[in-house]
Chains A and B, each alone.
Chain A
Amino acid sequence: MARAVTPRRKALNTVVAWVIGLIIFFPIMWIFILSFKTEGSAILPPLDVLRSSWTFENYGVVQDRSDYFKYFGNSVVLAFGSTLLGLIIAVPAAWAMAFVPSRRTKDILMWMLSTKMLPAVGVLYPIYLLFIKLGILDSRIGLTIVLMLINLPIIIWMLYTYFREIPGEILEAARMDGANLREEVLYVLTPMAIPGIASTVLLNVILAWNEAFWTLNLTAANAAPLTAFIASYSSPEGLFYAKLSAASVMAIAPILIMGWFSQKQLVRGLTFGAVK
């Protein structure tokens, strides 16, 4: 039930909120603008930047000079690969804990969460060493496994909270109506579980896409995703604002769009149900 507010109050809220929103969003807006400028005009004072002519050339140049889509492809493989691998392991686990809870379910969930708290830098060298010994340093498979493992607790937790919302009575009703286990899973549970699984996938693709500790430390030329590619711009020579902007826009655009769809899941996924 909304409180009645005066139109003046509403107008004031609107103006203040929009100004703050645009300030926060401005850096992203600005690199979007710079990405359509020439290198020469990208470093001009802001008003001159806006007045200068527009160009699409940066987007082409980034690909030609640096093989951009190789890195983009690595990001896609790592983000989706680790999420799907995680799902295969997490769905049965979350399912079992939600529908056949035991005395230890809570402890297991809490322990899984605690593995997420392990600081990455504390185990950097062991992982680095194991990767060398196994010959998977700078490989997509090695990094996919690591990204899967660091996000597995979040995947299990999210799925668990979604599955737990599926009422058990529905299963009993289906059973009374003569559904066997296969039909029960296929026609009753799966359709109800799909929204939760989809949200989980969305959030974890975002987290894996943006992960920037392991991707920076365990990759070089072969398996480097966009996080590492962009980092290589930190000490460039010559003019590069426009190209860096174009590369950045391409790196964040897909995730920005996915992120906007996953606002609600973000809270659930990152607070482990502690905030509702």
Chain B
Amino acid sequence: MATQHSRSAARLMIAPAVTLLLGWMLIPLSMTLFFSFKKYLPMRGDSLENGLDWVGFENYARFVTSSSFWPAVQATLIIVGGVLVVTVILGVILALLLDQEMWGQGIVRILVIAPFFVMPTVSALLWKNMFMDPINGFFAHILKAVGLQPIAFLSQHSLGALVTIVSWQWLPFATLILLTATQSLDREQLEAAEMDGARWQSRFIYIMLPHLARAITVVILIQTIFLLGIFAEILVTTQGSFGTKTLTYLIFQRVLESQNVGLGSAGGVYAIILANIVAIFLMRIVGKNLDA
């Protein structure tokens, strides 16, 4: 039913979106790529107008050999990995629980997903001050009440504290998606298994988990992309100290705080490559679904 006329009209309707996104992608990306091969220290007088010195791959080499690189990789892996483990495991448990029959299911669901709508700076500060503060925080009061020493969570257990905060923000997302997937499960299959005498462990392992596998993969991939970029949570809690400097935060510091744009841009290119590796897997799943 699509005529030549409607085809060209369609192309015209898509054009603005494509042009904008193309510009949004290509212009900054090529600038980052350009800067990454240059010595560019704006605070020492380097500027685009006077021309920048070409330094080849020096920035790329310096970024990965600097003393902050491996700790940053480690912090990134612990935060991303920790949050993924916590949110996926608790998310599966919560999804299965919320799928059960109960009174007030709708309200419980609202309570569980609420943290997702709290802006990152609010959730980071509320945990930092009202809960994890070693003097006036909620946990400090509880520890003192039972006769224990209060803990300065964000300096002594900084990565654990950050994983807790970020997990709290992302658990609703994992739960909601896994719950959606759980609800599409074929009940009759479960009942048949139950009638055949399969215990809940085997029902979970052989029926539920395979059914949820795809949703779990999607949760892991989407969260990884967002978690690699967490920024505000670190900025308002530790500002990268106590071993919480992730790759994203390290690049931010190189680029805006110490204004070593060349070095930071090389880091940015690494980050883009890393994100693209994750994205390829996600896109494959999404693409398959688009055909169906």
Contact = CB atoms under 8 A, between A and B. Distances in A.
A266 B21 contact: no
A227 B119 contact: yes
Interface in A104-131: 106, 108-110, 112-115, 117-130
B113 to A, nearest CB: 6
Given A10-B103, A14-B103, A17-B102, A112 B225 contact: no
A153 B21 contact: yes
A272 interface: yes
Contacts of A54: none
| Residue picked from B107, B109, B114, B291, most chain A C-beta under 10 Å | B114
Interface string B53-92: 0000000000000000000000000000000000000000
A17 B6 contact: no
A252 B194 CA distance: 44
A89 B97 contact: no
B27 interface: yes
B43 interface: no
Contacts, number: 315
Interface string B135-168: 1101001101100000000000000000000001
| Residue picked from B20, B107, B145, B265, most chain A C-beta under 10 Å | B20
A interface, size bucket: 35 or more
Given A114-B279, A124-B255, A119 B138 contact: no
B112 A25 contact: yes
B97 A92 contact: no
Interface in A1-31: 1-3, 5, 9-10, 13-14, 16-18, 20-22, 24-25, 27-28, 30-31
B29 interface: yes
Nearest to A107: B287
Contacts of A109: 290
Contact of B271 (A5, A9, A43, A121): A121
A110 B235 contact: no
A28 B122 CA distance: 10
A122 B251 contact: yes
Nearest to A127: B28
Interface of B: 1-2, 6-7, 9-11, 13-14, 16-18, 20-21, 24-25, 27-29, 31-32, 35, 48, 94, 97-98, 100-105, 107-123, 125-131, 135-136, 138, 141-142, 144-145, 168, 171-173, 176-177, 180-181, 184, 187, 191, 214-215, 218, 222, 225, 228-229, 231-232, 235-237, 248, 251-252, 255-256, 261, 264-265, 268-269, 271-272, 274-276, 278-279, 282-283, 285-287, 289-291
Given A100-B9, A241-B129, 15 more contacts: A24-B115, A27-B123, A27-B130, A30-B126, A46-B142, A106-B291, A113-B283, A129-B48, A213-B232, A227-B120, A240-B129, A255-B117, A260-B110, A273-B290, A275-B214
5 contacts: A10-B103, A14-B103, A124-B268, A129-B31, A255-B119
